[in-house]
Chain A
């Protein structure tokens, strides 16, 4: 789960990482009010769950209102901006990036830093039993063009960032930028930041769950509550429903290979048993713009007929009016296919069965070419 910058900074502060305090604004008027009464000049920062950071400087309440209006009517990384973080502007002389990330290819946690604008990070591998060591942070500090008088404060922030990373069960904790403010009170502060929390650890992160009151899962995969359904929305117009990640991706690949005809839209992965509730829920997650559905279920021993039956009941319940291609995998599926084929012949030829992955592709082509959208 990704956190917004303002949520991230709240957590940073708890771990003693220096930040600038800001106030959240939900409208242009609120932003103007904050600038009028608190911060002049101010930085108005769009809060969106994207890696892109969009902010502007406002010198007056009127300018703040204009900037806020613009930002609230804009999108960042394809996501609508719904709220803004208004902060006092800080004069800065240098900017760095400091991050702790989980690196999959190395199977390790990495402490990384670089001056902003430089392409390469300097990296240190963190021993999961020892945590970030002072010498590692000092080594990174010495690699940045940072005067040695600030090294201790850099080390302190790096150690606290590690405490925050572990304490919040993060997969990634970034300070971006870590800014060195102008004299006379030059100091290092976390002007921006991003935390990405491990979904698997949310069960023991009650504080973070409380912090996140608004739905932050905007465009990310959101695990369905009851049946553990993972949905991913791609831009295409043909959806697939499958049980299991690998099977869902294999089905999506078949659809996406037909580049001239269609593209993959929603990928719906039912994790667990194929109950009526689970399949029914999957159908409710379909996008309105969906032109066809490919259903691909692996049926465990002797469940095929029951699953075929369930699919037909759900189709009737949802009154589906677009083509559906159904493939079942597994053993002893003859009667299941008979039931589906009988429906196709007698009730609605919107449903067709496919015996193989290749047949699935073939049937999809037939359906898409004889039913123009």
Chain B
């Protein structure tokens, strides 16, 4: 078991003939991901590495039975691509595209929540990985190993770094989810924590957060009320002064509640184990969670 994706998930790639789309499609195929079709308007009828390309999502779903999609479409068309996938009944949408205007995402997420049928990961998500089963997105073909630790993160390279360290210590992952670095995202820490709590193959969880926004505070409140599995958290950005934006649009510290310190405090009161450095995540998993005994 795992969350969100496994070896049976059938993916479409929206933007499959674009530069990024085609490059990452090849990588995902190599990693064993089941890609049943692609969508690029006006390219319907083409093929890419044995994958049929369709003009629109509805036709692609009817022809292939796809139940998930990965969006590599450029900024100006990405929102439309997601509405199209939701309209076609795709249950899981992973949006890799970054740089979508916030108000557009806000509208989209409000719509998807009202409809209640589609789960959106991202925008600006590196993707989802269930090791040895399915790689969705731009997560490089890391030497991830199947295991029992669920990993959820806002940033990508820091999460890759941490997971590489985990692998070196023989700690495997059940599923990794990059929720995305934008201020508004379709799926939050809380949503993923709830899924990990229900997943029989996840015994503990690593949460990698950062300064800016309040999603870690909401996670802390949720953990206090609902989570029973042990959680290790690392929050980057203790050094970041209020009001400064670092990289991710989501990482702007605007009020006291959004500082790394406030998040660490909230998570501590929810009995989450706090790592001061990325490597301490591994120490805590070994020494406090006793992951190797599980």
A interface with B by C-beta (< 8 Å): 102, 104-105, 107-109, 127-129, 166, 169, 171, 198-201, 203-204, 220-221, 230, 232, 234, 242-250, 252-257, 264, 267, 269, 271, 298, 300-301, 329-331, 356-358
Say how far A10's CB is from chain B's closest CB, in angstroms: 21
Bound form: Cα–Cα A232–B245 in Å: 7
Say yes or no for B45: interface residue by CB 8 A criterion. no
Which residues of A are found within 8 Å of B141, using beta-carbon distances?
A: 301
* Per-residue A-contact encoding for B98-111, CB less than 8 Å = 1, 0 else: 01111100110111
CB < 8 Å neighbour of B247 from A109, A128, A271, A301: A271
Given contacts A203-B75, A249-B211, A252-B239, are A108 and B106 in contact (CB under 8 A)?
A: yes
CB < 8 Å neighbour of B214 from A102, A105, A257: A105
Say yes or no: A245 contacts B102, CB within 8 Å.
no
Given contacts A199-B249, A247-B155, are A253 and B106 in contact (CB under 8 A)?
A: no
Say yes or no: B211 contacts A330, CB within 8 Å.
no
Bound form: Cα–Cα A83–B129 in Å: 52
Say yes or no: B155 contacts A245, CB within 8 Å.
yes
CB < 8 Å neighbour of A169 from B101, B161, B164, B238: B101
- Residue of B with least CB distance to A356: B279
CB < 8 Å neighbour of A249 from B110, B213, B236, B254: B236
Bound form: Cα–Cα A254–B237 in Å: 10
Which residues of A are found within 8 Å of B244, using beta-carbon distances?
A: 221, 232, 234
Say yes or no for B222: interface residue by CB 8 A criterion. no
CB < 8 Å neighbour of B240 from A107, A249, A329: A249
Say yes or no for B65: interface residue by CB 8 A criterion. no
Say how far A157's CB is from chain B's closest CB, in angstroms: 20
Given contacts A250-B278, A298-B161, A331-B142, are A244 and B247 in contact (CB under 8 A)?
A: yes
Say yes or no: A104 contacts B213, CB within 8 Å.
yes
- Residue of A with least CB distance to B240: A249
Say how far B4's CB is from chain A's closest CB, in angstroms: 21
A-B CB contact pairs (8 Å), 16 listed:
A102-B183, A109-B106, A128-B106, A169-B103, A198-B102, A200-B101, A221-B244, A221-B246, A230-B246, A245-B246, A249-B239, A249-B246, A253-B236, A254-B277, A264-B239, A300-B160
Bound form: Cα–Cα A118–B237 in Å: 33
- Residue of B with least CB distance to A264: B239
- Residue of A with least CB distance to B184: A107
Say how far A310's CB is from chain B's closest CB, in angstroms: 17
Say how far B145's CB is from chain A's closest CB, in angstroms: 12
Say yes or no for B71: interface residue by CB 8 A criterion. no
Q: Name which of B140, B153, B234, B260 has the most chain A CB atoms within 10 A of its CB.
A: B140
Say yes or no for B263: interface residue by CB 8 A criterion. no
Say yes or no: A166 contacts B278, CB within 8 Å.
no
Say how far A31's CB is from chain B's closest CB, in angstroms: 30
By the criterion of a CB under 8 Å from any partner CB, how many residues of chain B are at the interface?
59
Interfacial residues of chain B within 239-280, with CB under 8 A of chain A in the complex: 239-241, 244-249, 251, 254, 257-258, 260, 277-279
Interfacial residues of chain B within 96-134, with CB under 8 A of chain A in the complex: 99-103, 106-107, 109-111
Given contacts A199-B249, A330-B164, A331-B143, are A249 and B103 in contact (CB under 8 A)?
A: no
Say how far A139's CB is from chain B's closest CB, in angstroms: 21
User: 10 closest pairs, A vs B, by CB?
Assistant: A246-B155, A244-B157, A246-B158, A245-B247, A256-B239, A249-B236, A201-B101, A329-B161, A300-B140, A357-B277
Q: Name which of B157, B158, B279 has the most chain A CB atoms within 10 A of its CB.
A: B157
Say yes or no: A244 contacts B155, CB within 8 Å.
yes
Say yes or no for B210: interface residue by CB 8 A criterion. yes
Bound form: Cα–Cα A230–B237 in Å: 15
Say yes or no: A252 contacts B240, CB within 8 Å.
yes
Given contacts A252-B239, A255-B239, are A221 and B245 in contact (CB under 8 A)?
A: yes
CB < 8 Å neighbour of B164 from A232, A245, A329: A329
* Per-residue A-contact encoding for B135-173, CB less than 8 Å = 1, 0 else: 000001111000000000111111111001101100000
Which residues of B are found within 8 Å of A166, using beta-carbon distances?
A: 103
Say how far B246's CB is from chain A's closest CB, in angstroms: 5
Say yes or no: B236 contacts A128, CB within 8 Å.
no
Which residues of A are found within 8 Å of B109, using beta-carbon distances?
A: 107
Say yes or no: B236 contacts A246, CB within 8 Å.
yes
Bound form: Cα–Cα A94–B102 in Å: 34
Say yes or no for B208: interface residue by CB 8 A criterion. yes
Given contacts A200-B249, A244-B155, are A331 and B164 in contact (CB under 8 A)?
A: yes
Which residues of A are found within 8 Å of B238, using beta-carbon distances?
A: 253, 256-257
Bound form: Cα–Cα A169–B158 in Å: 31
Say yes or no for B26: interface residue by CB 8 A criterion. no
- Residue of A with least CB distance to B212: A104
- Residue of B with least CB distance to A300: B140
Bound form: Cα–Cα A271–B156 in Å: 11
Which residues of A are found within 8 Å of B168, using beta-carbon distances?
A: 331
